[in-house]
Amino acid sequence: MSSGICSRCSRIIQPGDLFYSLLIKVSSGFDGVINIKDEKYDISEEFEKVKSYPEELINEEVYREFQYVLCPRCKEIYCANPLNLPLGGSEPE
């Protein structure tokens, strides 16, 4: 990835300027447990439903990737609070 424009503040990053490449990967987790409360649940029927979904939709449910360019200031802001949590010492719920 080459320099260009900061994805956060739109600052122009000139050739040779310091910039950061931010790659965010989000993937689904699975702990090995499937909770099925409905006794009439038919797993093969559910697999057939999933086969009809567009592949892109299924992929987005399992894995997403985002790539950004950040100027040095925006990199510091991002790294200080990457999840944009409320500041002030209160714990997230």
* Per-residue confidence (pLDDT) for residue 91, from 0 to 100: 59
What is the SS3 assignment for 92? Answer: coil
Provide the whole-model pTM. Answer: 0.71
Return d(Cα 93, Cα 91) in angstroms, integer: 6
Q: How far, in Å, CA of 25 to CA of 68, rounded?
A: 12
Q: What is the mean pLDDT of each run of 10 residues along the chain (93 residues)?
A: 86 97 96 81 81 87 95 97 84 57
Rounded to an integer, what distance in angstroms lies between the CA atom of residue 78 and that of residue 75? 5
Residue type, 49: K
pLDDT computed for residue 45 by the predictor: 83
| CB of 3 closer than 8 Å to CB of 15 | yes
